[in-house]
Structures are given as structure tokens and as C-alpha cells.
Structure 1
Amino acid sequence: MIPFGLLSGFMDSKEIRITELGEDGFRFRLTEECPEPEQFRICFYDMKKAGYRKVEIRKFEMNAVAGTLEAEERCVQENDGSFFREYSVRVEQKDYVQEVQRLAGEYSRYIRLKLDGDDGELAKTLTGYPAELDEVHCESLEEQKKLWFGGNSSSVRRNPDADQSVEESFLDKGTELALELNGPSLYEEYLCQPLQDFLASYWQKNYLTHSWLAGRTPERFYIGNQFCHNLFPTENQLFSIMDKMRSEDLEVTLAFSYIREFMLSSVEKLLEKVDNWCCVHGVNVEIVVNDWAMVEILRGKTSHLSPVFGTLLNKCKKDPRMKYKSGDISLFQRNSLNAKFYRDFLAKEFHIHRYEWESCGYPQEFPPGKNSIHLPFYQTNTSQYCPLYALCTTGDRGMQQLAEHCPKFCEKYSLLYPEHLHMIGRYNSLFGVDKTLLESPEMWKKIKGIKPDRIVVNL
């Protein structure tokens, strides 16, 4: 059997499962007897072009498979009480024969590479992936960040030859700037320092002192982590941070991750306290929602708590290896939020009008509404059963379990990957790094659709 992703077929408009393939024809199964169709359409996957070649077959000879049907029916009936019928189709069409030969050759080559080499060699042969660079690693997260954002790289510094209109517009507050406080060390640093001292330290330790983003004081801070529930601040920390931000005239967004069953009661009580805090001080707070349970918890509280559509719910295809794949990458530029009826549903049912996006290495078409773009890190994978915790406690990242009493290993450790991939493992997630907007503010003009009205820095 050729894998379904490489070979699919249609009998008139009905999709069929092809079970055998040859140059003289093919076999397929159905659950019931059928009359002879007008045509077949067979779709052969082309690995080089990353697309399908379609062959229409109008001249053929179709027969029920003789001598095997009754035995097969008895066998299947004994197992699960169901039946199937198998048909053979004889074809003498030249373009069909050519596609069968090509697919068989490509698939045989794939199997041979899979058996004889490793994944890197397979990817190198099929896509041009530089497998030899997989051996180049940095020694630490500090070294990795310095290589990405610092050193002698002038690309992250203000470029006098770049289009200054975008940078000037940003510095003149044409777009809101926000920073993420997404872990315990940042919570403590912010609480222990005046705002300007904290910002100076923040940009310096991330090697971005001369970045075009560093020339402006942010108007908003995100508190919390969208991906790990163990990295949300304690209740005392949270209200201390919110009080300090209010005194410094900063806007507040609280970022929540998924909500596990045991968290529902405590999160609901915390949001009630946040709502009371907002009522007392006469302010509004945004709540980043990454779990549908959260929007239910927020029902009736949206006068002061504004729900925001989070990254985990705003699903996009993101992978730092995308550049090695062939095919039409423009298909990734849109997702469900580009559908007006879906945005209307979110607004009507949950009062959601803002959406969180990530700069992830390819142009995206942002929909009407309020859009926030996070950079330079973008999430590719998240596990509630933390791989870093498993590695630190068992030595095997595959032995994952829920970290109920998390010792915050991620404050000291991270998972490093081959340098050329521009990715890193932080806490319970994998992240890629996209420096496009960080290095070139003029790239802002190439964003399709509605321009984001907020930049969120997540170093």
C-alpha cells in the first residue's frame, strides 16, 4: 500500500482508498457494491514539486475481484461484523503509466534513504537541508543570544541607510510597545528596580541596547506566561507588579496559559480579585486567553477585564525549518481569524476584539481588528508535560510527567539546538527566532492586511 498522502483517488466525486497499484491498473475497496463510474481521478504526489499530479481516466475496465471477495468478507465479518468489496481497474493510459513509474521510483528512493541513513541525510537529499551544520552548537544560552542579537552584527542596530519613516513612526508612538514579563526572574527584577533601570538592564543583557526598539519606553507590560502554567506569578507578586505598573502609568495585560482541571477554581478566584482591583482603581486589564474554559470564566466580568485571543488558540504553521521545504508558503499566510464570521462569533459571544500573533519567518495577512505581534521568539511546540523537567529529573526528555511542584529548572537551564536552526527549548516549549522585524524596521511595510497596532517584545 502506498501511503495515502502520496496517492489518493476519486471515483467520479467519491473518494476511494487505493490498496494496490501497478502500471496496468489499480485496486480499491468500498463498503458497498457500486455501478461503474464515468471516470477516475488519481492524484500522485510529486516530492520534487511538493504538489500533486492529477490523471483523469475515462477509458478503463472495472471488475469485482473474483475468488477473494467471499473469503475476505467472511474474515472481516468474523472480526468486526463489517464488510467491504474490492474492485480492480485495468488502465492502458500512457500518462497514468508514467506517473506510476515516477511515484514508485521516488517512494523506493525515500524508503532506501530512510533505511540506510539518518534523518539529517534524508532531509539533505530530499530538501537540501544542511545536515552537516547540525553538529554546530553553542555552549550556553548566553552565547546563543549573543550570537543572535549581539557581537559585531550591525543588522540589529539602527541602519542609517534603512527606511527611517517606519522607525520614526514607531518612536512617535504610532504603534504601541509592550514587553513581556514571563518568568520569576523578570518579575523580581521589575519589582526591585525603577522602570528606567529595569529597561536599561533588559536591553543590555539581551544585547539589544542599540536596537531601534530600545529607543522608546513601553506603554504596556504583559505579566505571565502563555505556554507554562507554572510560570505565572504568585498572587502577592502579581498585585505588587500591577500596583507598581499603575504608579508608573503603564497598561497591564495578564497572560494565562492553558487551564488544567485543578486550576479552574483558583484561576476564577484570582480573576475575581483582579476584577475588584480594577474596580477600586478605575482601570481596565487585558486577559490573554489560551483555553476555552477561560472565556467561560470571564463571562460577566468583561466590563473591566478584556479578553484577548491568545497564541495557543491562534493556530498557525510555524517551524524554523520551513525555509528548507518546497511548495507554496503563501498558503500559511491566512488562518481561521481571516474569516469574518469567526471574528464576529468571537466578538459577539466572548467580547474578543484583539488577537495575538507571532513574527514567525514568513509574511502573514493580518485580519481587520486589533492585532498584536510578538517578536523575536515564536512558539512551535508546547507540552503540559515538561520535557526540560523530565530531562533534569530523569535524564530522559521522553519520560515526561506533569510538574505539580515545579522547581523552576528553566531559570537555569534551556535546551540548545544546532545554531543554524535558530531555535531553543525554553521551559515546556520549543521556540524559533525570527529577527526579520528586529533587524529591519522597513519590513513593517511588507506586512499584508491590517498592520499590527502593538509590538510585544518577548526576550
Structure 2
Amino acid sequence: MIPFGLLSGFMDSKEIRITELGEDGFRLRLAEECPEPEQFLICFYDMKKAGYRKVEIRRFEMSAAEERCLQDQQPAEMETGKYFYREYFVRAEQKEYVQEVRRLAGEYNRYIRLKLDGDDAELAKSLTGYPAELDEVHCRSLEEQKKLWFGGNPSSVRRNPDADQSVEELFLDKGTELALELNGPSLYEEYLCQPLQDFLASYWQKNYLTHSWLAGRTPERFYIGNQFCHNLFPTENQLFSIMDKMRSEGLEITLAFSYIREFMLTSVGKLLEKVDNWCCIHGVNVEIVVNDWAVVEMLHGKTTRLCPVFGTLLNKRKKDPRMKYKSGDISLFQRNSLNAKFYRDFLAEEFHIHRYEWESCGYPQELPPGKNSLHLPFYQTNTSQYCPLYALCTTGDRGTQQLAEHCPKFCEKYALLYPEHLHMTGRYNSLFGVDKTFPEIPEMWKNIKGTKPDRIVVNI
């Protein structure tokens, strides 16, 4: 029985499920009895080309196989003909069909043997050319990785090679807002304890970005909170202290919320009420990044001052640093649901959402019309509410995960390290890849199709 992703078929225009395959023909399953069709189109997956080979069958013999019924049906129901499905056998012996059956069976058999005999790296190396030998090369710390990723040549990252203009003049001074994320306890405290310019100087220096095109400009906006871990949102006192300081420094404010667990509903609802009151008192608006539909409901009736933003966890797309080793057409990843106008209209009309959060994730994306924020250089690939880092620090086994109700913030000191060539890391309850094209902003801009982002958000 070949997996559906490797073998699919159509009977005339109707998709069918092939349950058995042989060189003399195939067996298929239908929900009801049907007349003999004019043709079959069988699609065989080619692992080397990462695409399907299609075989059209017009000469065949089709016969009914044994009829099957639901296990819980009674004999009386069986007598009335209420069958769950019917099976048919199609005899097809044309040369092209037989060749494809043999090729698919050989490739699938090879895949099974590789899966049984080796590890995942060896399997990937055999099938995609993945450099399994590089999996043995690790950095000793996240700081060492950051230095490798971002500590480039200053003269090479600030100038556009095709023009005598700075990167800032080309991109950042043309209406693109610059924002910075405060996404953990240490950053909250550092920001509160230092003047803005001192904080920024320290921020760029410790992340090896003093030479970058980002460091020469003061951000107009700060994001407060973490989109991926509910335990990294600031305390209520911290939050309003940060907001007061930002208001005094003339900065715009965006609050980033993660998923909302059941026990958090009441407290988050009350906090949003207090933020709304703070906005009314000071006459300012605050953006709310939404990553859970419950927050959208909580914002109902408050969108005059609290502006909902479509968050990263809701703005789904395939992201993985290992995708560069896969064959196939990655252009299929460029668009997602937000590229559909009716969906954007629905978000705007029902929830007053007009801005969308994106991540620079290493391959071209087609951003839709509207307000788009681009986060860089880190992009999220996986998030677990049951933190693997917490499990590893408390039990020694990242697989024994449980909800960290009283989180000791292990992520302030520790991170999960991966082979250096993958350009990824495990931070708090998530895995992140890093898009290394971002220091070369002309190259990064080439990876953005459609509407250019009107906001860049740094999330180191």
C-alpha cells in the first residue's frame, strides 16, 4: 500500500484512492458503485525530480472486487445494501505504466531501507544531498553563533554595490518604520535602567551589529512582549513602567501577545482593559499583536485606541532552514491565505485588522497589499506550549515536556544549539532559524515580492 503522497490518481475528473499497486494493474476504492470510466490518470511521485510523472490509461479492464461494510453494521443493514465503500480492480498492462510501477516500487523500497538502516541525516544525504558530515560542527554557545552570523565586514554591509548611496538612503529613509523587540525579562530591565541611546548602543554592541545599516538609526517604535511564549510577557508593573518611559521618549508602542491558555483568559482581559484606560488618559493609540482568536474577541469594542495586528502564529507559512536542501519549486511557498483579498477584507471588516506580521525566512515571499511588518533576522519554525528547554533543564530529557506554570526563566541563560551550518537555535519554547541575508539589505529586499514592508522589526 503506497502512501497517498507518492501515488495518486484520477478516474476521468474524479480523484480516487489507490489501495494496492502491481505491474498488472491496481485496486481502487470508491464510496459508491459507478459506471466504467473513459480513462484513468495515475500520478507517480519521482523522488529525484521532486515532481509527479503522469500516465494516462485508456485501455484497461475494470472489475468489481469484494464489497466492504462498516464493522458496526448489522446483518439487516448489510442486506439493504448500505455499504461503506466498494473496491474495483483495474487491469492495465501498457509499457509506460509498468515502467513507472517498477521505478516507484524501487525508490520506495530504497527509502524504507535507508530509514531502517541509518539515521535521519544519512537518509537526507542519500535523498537530497544534505551535508550530514557537517552535523558534527557545533558552536560552543549562542554568543559564538551570533558572532559568526552577524560579525561581518563593516564596509561590506553598509553600502549598495550598484550605487553610491547608503542602504539607509535606499530603503530606510523612504517611509519604512524601524522597530525593536523587547521580548524577554533581561531586555525589559535593561531598557528601564538606561537612557534610550545608551540602551541602543549596548543592544547593537552585544549582538555584533554596531557596523550594520540598522545601528545608525533610532527606532520609532518598540514591541513589548513575546509572540511565542506566554511566560515571557512583562509583569503588569513592568509593562506600564515601560510604556510610560516610551511615551516620554516619543516612541510608538506595540504589545505582542502569544497564544492564550484557558487560565489566562481573565487576566489578559483585565490587562487589556487597563491598557485601554492608559491610552484614554494619555491620548495615544497602542497596537496589539494577536496570536490567538480569543484576544480578538477581547478587543471587541476597544479598537478605537487598541489596534489589532495579525500575529506571526496566525500568519502561517512553511519555514525551515533545511528547506534549501530540498528539491522542487519553492515558489509555491511565496503566497499564503493573506494573499487572498476576500480574507484580508474579512479581517478588516470583522476585526479591524489592517496590519500583518511577517518574518524574513530565507526565501522570496509575496507580501499582499496593505500594512506589512517584516521581522528579522530570526524566524520561528516551531513553538510548543510545553517548553522543551524547561524539560531539558529540569529532567535532562527534552521529550518529557510539561506546562511550566511557574517558569524559572531558564532561557535567560540557556539555549539549544544545533549544527552551525543550519543557522538555527532553540530559544525558550521555540525553534528559530536566522536569515543571514538581512545584513545585505539589497539581497534581502530582492526576497520580497509584491508590496514592500512599511516596517522593519529587529528581533535579536
Q: Tell me, what secondary structure is at the counterpart of 1:78?
A: coil
147-156 or 45-54: bigger deviation: 147-156
The answer to whether the 8 A contact 1:156-1:208 is kept is no
1:147 aligns with 2:148: yes
When the two structures are superposed, what TM-score results if normalisation uses the length of structure 1? Answer: 0.94
Q: Secondary structure at the match of 1:74?
A: coil
Structure 1 residues 223 and 258, CA gap change in structure 2 (3 angstroms): same
Q: Is the 8 A contact 1:158 1:211 kept in 2?
A: no
| Distance change in 2, residues 1:277/1:400 (3 Å) | same
Report deviation, 1:153. Answer: 7.8
Q: Supply the distance in 2 between the matched residues of 1:239 and 1:321 (Cα, whole angstroms).
A: 40
Distance 1:76 1:295, change over 3 A: closer
Partner secondary structure for residue 214 of structure 2: helix
Residues 105-114 or 426-435, more deviating? 105-114
Bigger drift between 229-238 and 140-149 goes to 140-149
Contact 1:307–1:352 (CA<8 Å) still a contact in 2?
yes
The structure-2 alpha-carbon separation of the partners of 1:74 and 1:19, relative to structure 1 and needing over 3 Å to count, comes to closer
- Contact kept, 8 Å, 2:158 with 2:167, in 1: the verdict is no
Could you tell me how far apart the structure 2 residues matched to 1:139 and 1:72 are? 62
Aligned to 1:77, the other structure's residue is in SS state coil
Change (3 A) 1:358 1:144: same
- Rate the CA distance shift 1:150–1:165 in 2: closer, same or farther, 3 A: closer
8 Å Cα contact 2:391/2:402 also seen in 1: yes
1:79 and 1:3 mapped to 2: Cα distance?
Answer: 28
Classify 1:44/1:457 alpha carbon distance in 2 versus 1 (closer, same or farther; 3 Å): same
Q: Which residue of 2 aligns with 1:7?
A: 7
Q: Is the 8 A contact 1:291 1:313 kept in 2?
A: yes
Deviates more, 1:129-138 or 1:13-22: 13-22
TM superposition shift of 1:439:
2.6
Deviates more, 1:162-171 or 1:288-297: 162-171
1:164–1:442 Cα contact (<8 Å) kept: no
Q: What is the alpha-carbon distance in structure 1 between the residues aligned to residue 154 and residue 240 of structure 2?
A: 39
Distance 1:366 1:349 in 2: 21
Q: What is the TM-score when the length of structure 2 is the normalising length?
A: 0.94
User: Hey, what's the Cα distance between the residues in 2 that align with 1:109 and 1:206?
Assistant: 45
TM-superposed deviation, 1:37: 1.2
**What's the CA shift for 1:36?**
1.1
Instruction: Give the distance between the partners of 1:440 and 1:352, measured in 2 at CA.
Output: 28
CA 1:160 to 1:84, structure 2 compared with 1: closer, same or farther past 3 Å?
closer
| Counterpart position of 1:76 | 70
Partners of 1:400 and 1:163 lie apart in 2 by: 53
Does 341-350 or 8-17 show the bigger shift?
8-17
**CA displacement 1:325-367 (0-9 Å, x = unmatched):** 0111000000000000000000000000000000000111110
C-alpha distance 91-252 of structure 1, shift in aligned 2 (>3 A): same
8 Å CA contact retained: 2:68, 2:86: no
The alignment partner of 2:314 has SS state of coil
Deviations 1:205-251 (A, max 9, x none): 00000001110000000000000000000000000000000010000
8 Å Cα contact 1:356-1:374 kept in structure 2: yes
SS in 2 for 1:164: coil
Provide closer, same or farther for how the CA distance between residues 133 and 449 of structure 1 changes in structure 2, counting only shifts above 3 A: same
Tell me if structure 1 keeps the 8 A contact 2:423–2:433: yes
Q: How many residues align?
A: 451
Q: Structure 1's 3 and 306: CA in aligned 2 closer, same or farther, altered over 3 A?
A: same
Secondary structure of the 1:343 match is helix
1:373-392 Cα deviation digits (max 9, x unpaired): 00000000000111111111
Alpha-carbon shift at residue 393 of structure 1 (Å)? 0.8
Q: Deviations over 1:389-441 (max 9, x none)?
A: 11111111111111111110100111000000000000000000002122334
Contact 1:162 1:442 in 2 (8 A): no
Contact 1:149 1:156 in 2 (8 A): no
Question: What's the C-alpha RMSD, in Å, of the aligned pairs?
Answer: 1.8
